[in-house]
Amino acid sequence: MQPSFSSDSTPGDLPSAPPVEMPREEASRGDKALRLVLVIMFVNLGLSVLTAILTLILKDSVLDFQLAHAHLPASATPAEIDLLRRTLQTALWSRLGAMVLVSAVYIWRAYALRRGSRGAYIRLYYICIAGLGGIAYLIIAGQYPVWMRVEQGLQAVVLIALIVAVSRPEVRARFAKRQNG
């Protein structure tokens, strides 16, 4: 059987296949669920960036808080106190550097999720769990002022919401293992 050509096609053109459409309801539900995951990711990223900016602005206050709550012997010399302050400052800068790195990873993971990467989906669980563990440590350790612990608590709530959003059936179905055959 010869394929039929429309009157506006030339003899060398191939016939076009009819468009294939996914059921709109399924695609729309999966897109909305993934969009929610991405929005929550970027809310968490926004909180991290806000904390980084505030930490830069209030770095002396944060360092003073940490120094005041450090367990120093009463006989500590000014040189020992100065060494501790520099160590705390290095740790603070390292934390800010880690925030920048995590921000880049978040953007990269969001792009991979939009592409449908199952690996990015799995890594997002690990990122959330590691983030919650780190936040729990920082809050319990009490190394930072109250305003930073409140922000970290907000981030923990956002990460829990992210785990819930990623665990929704629509999202899991979108990143399910492909069956061979």
Domain boundaries, the chain: 29-70+78-174
Quick check: 170 and 26 in contact, CB under 8 A?
no
- Which pair of tokens denotes residue 95? 């934390």
Nearby residues of 81 by Cβ (< 8 Å), 6 or more positions away? 67, 72
| 3-state SS string for 30-78 | HHHHHHHHHHHHHHHHHHHHHHHHHHHHCHHHHHHHHHHCCCCCCCCCH
pLDDT digits over 23-74, tens only? 555 556 668 889 999 999 999 999 988 988 999 899 999 999 998 888 888 8
Residue-by-residue pLDDT tens, the chain, 181 positions = 555 555 555 566 666 666 655 555 555 666 888 999 999 999 999 998 898 899 989 999 999 999 888 888 888 899 999 999 999 999 889 988 888 888 888 888 889 999 889 999 999 999 899 989 999 998 998 888 999 999 999 999 999 999 999 999 999 988 888 776 5
Measured CA to CA, the distance from residue 70 to residue 109 in angstroms comes to 37
Q: How much is the pLDDT for 73? A: 87
